[in-house]
């Protein structure tokens, strides 16, 4: 069905197509059993104190304002991360701000955290009880004078209703945000967030989402800060604002974050490097160019316990999670592996 509609959808401007997808998902009548696969229990995995039905999650940025997460869960994703949510509603950058690089199976976006703001989004989630695992990704407003304070407001607002909170320090489209990769600034941020957790008596898992553009020499420092300050998992990676040289598409030099196929190997290499540094002390969620069972399996072998995707959902359509689960199960069977957890980190 998607393959029939795809030429029509790809004729639309990417943001219009996205808005149309959100509208249609609000009325998704398809039963969730259509998106389950045979032997899916081979993909069950316990992490962050939760039982994930499968490791294929929908990455942040698709359902920014938490409008359709239950419908996305019905499409067979093992978990969904909404956001990035900022304290105040914001429009983001001027349009056009999403670009489809079809020849490269990639996207470039410079959305700039467009979302409805944390209070509206909290009410929305409270009135639409989640039917699966829901992460909430938080970040600062563009105009804020204090980015750390905005992260704290996000955590306070959401800790009661999320399964985990992602601290997004890695979007390339918000000025100054990626400075939080600096060890001192990072520790200061996590300490403040941990204090909020303590004051509120909550043990909500805090995840840190990292940029693929950091200097390799920062990996030990970031890993050390995460381990010492009780970060529950690291998400590798956000989009890159580099690596344009080998792209084919005419739109390759648009400003913003690049995602999809060209990010795949970069992100897998980051997973390997962090995995060597972390030595299993903190789990990794792999994201960047996951578009098949093979690319998913490579990230798991590199050290990822869970995965997320966004760009291949645009290119493969609503059956992306289902198809990737099927392909992954086939690979596990051919390798004689009975559960996905036995493959984690086997090549790192």
Active site residues: 171
Residue 59 interacts with ligand FMN (CB under 6 A): yes or no:
yes
66 binds ligand FMN (CB under 6 A): no
211 binds ligand FMN (CB under 6 A): no
Q: How far is the CB of 337 from ligand FMN (least distance, A)?
A: 24
For residue 312, give both structure tokens: 């291949």
C-alpha 41/C-alpha 338 separation (Å) is 9
In the complex, minimum distance from the CB of residue 336 to ligand FMN, in angstroms, rounded to a whole number: 28
- Give the Cα separation of 285 and 252 in Å (integer): 27
Which member of 68, 204, 263, 284 binds ligand FMN (CB under 6 A)? Answer: 263
Report whether 86 contacts 140 (CB < 8 A).
yes
Applying CB under 6 A, which part among 176-184, 285-293, 297-305, 320-328 lies near ligand FMN?
A: 285-293
Exposure class string for 142-158: b at 16+ Cβ within 10 A, else e = bebeebeebbbbbbbbb
Residue 93 in contact with ligand FMN, rule: CB under 6 A:
no
CB of 236 to ligand FMN, least distance (A): 9
- CA separation, residue 47 to residues 88, 145, 158, 228, 315 (Å): 31, 36, 20, 19, 29
What 3 state SS string does 200-250 have? CCCCCCEEEEECCCCCHHHHHHHHHHHHHCCCCEEEECCCECCCCCCCCCC
Q: Which among 31-39, 54-62, 180-188, 270-278 is the span making contact with ligand FMN, rule CB under 6 A?
A: 54-62
Under the binding rule (CB under 6 A), the answer on residue 287 touching ligand FMN is yes
| Residue 209 makes contact with ligand FMN by CB under 6 A | yes
User: Is the bond into 72 cis (omega within 30 degrees of 0)?
Assistant: no
Interface mask (CB under 6 A) for ligand FMN, residues 225-244, using x and -? -------------xx-----
The pairing of beta strand 106-109 with beta strand 257-260: antiparallel
Q: Which is nearer to ligand FMN, 43 or 138 (CB)?
A: 138
273 forms bridges with which residues in the sheet? none
Local structure of residue 184 (DSSP, 8 states): H
Looking at beta carbons only, is 234 or 287 nearer to ligand FMN?
287
Candidate segments 200-208, 223-231, 282-290, 337-345, binder of ligand FMN by CB under 6 A: 282-290
- Binding stretches for ligand FMN (CB under 6 A): 59-61, 64, 83-84, 98, 107, 109, 111, 113, 137, 168, 171, 209, 238-239, 259-260, 263, 287-290, 309-312
């Amino acid at each position: 069905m998607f393959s029939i509609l795809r030429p029509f959808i790809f004729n639309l401007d990417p943001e219009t197509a996205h808005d149309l997808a959100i509208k249609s998902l609000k009325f998704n009548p398809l039963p969730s059993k259509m998106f389950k696969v045979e032997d899916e229990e081979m993909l069950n995995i316990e992490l962050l104190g939760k039982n994930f039905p499968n490791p294929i999650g929908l990455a942040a940025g698709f359902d920014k304002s938490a409008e359709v997460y239950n419908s996305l869960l019905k499409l067979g994703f093992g978990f969904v991360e909404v956001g990035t949510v900022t304290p105040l509603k914001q429009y983001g950058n001027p349009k056009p701000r999403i670009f489809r690089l079809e020849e490269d199976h990639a996207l470039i976006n410079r959305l700039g955290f467009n979302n409805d703001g944390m209070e509206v989004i909290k009410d929305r989630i409270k009135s639409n009880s989640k039917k699966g695992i829901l992460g909430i990704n938080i970040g600062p407003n563009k105009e804020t004078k204090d980015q750390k304070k905005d992260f704290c407001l996000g955590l306070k607002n959401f800790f009661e209703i999320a399964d985990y909170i992602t601290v997004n320090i890695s979007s390339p489209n918000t000025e100054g945000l990626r400075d939080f990769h600096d060890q001192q600034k990072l520790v200061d941020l996590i300490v403040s967030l941990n204090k909020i957790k303590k004051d509120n008596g909550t043990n909500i898992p805090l995840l840190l989402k990292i940029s693929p553009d950091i200097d390799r020499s920062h990996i030990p420092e970031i890993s050390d800060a995460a381990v010492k300050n009780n970060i529950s998992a690291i998400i590798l990676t956000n989009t890159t604002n580099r690596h344009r040289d080998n792209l084919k598409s005419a739109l390759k030099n648009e400003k913003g974050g690049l995602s999809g196929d060209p990010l795949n190997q970069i992100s897998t290499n980051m997973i390997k490097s962090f995995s060597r540094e972390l030595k299993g002390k903190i789990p990794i969620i792999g994201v960047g160019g996951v578009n098949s069972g093979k690319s998913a399996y490579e990230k798991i072998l590199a050290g990822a316990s869970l995965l997320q995707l966004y760009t291949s959902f645009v290119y493969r359509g609503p059956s992306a999670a289902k198809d990737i689960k099927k392909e992954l199960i086939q690979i596990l069977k051919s390798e004689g592996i009975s559960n996905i957890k036995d493959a984690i980190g086997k090549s790192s």
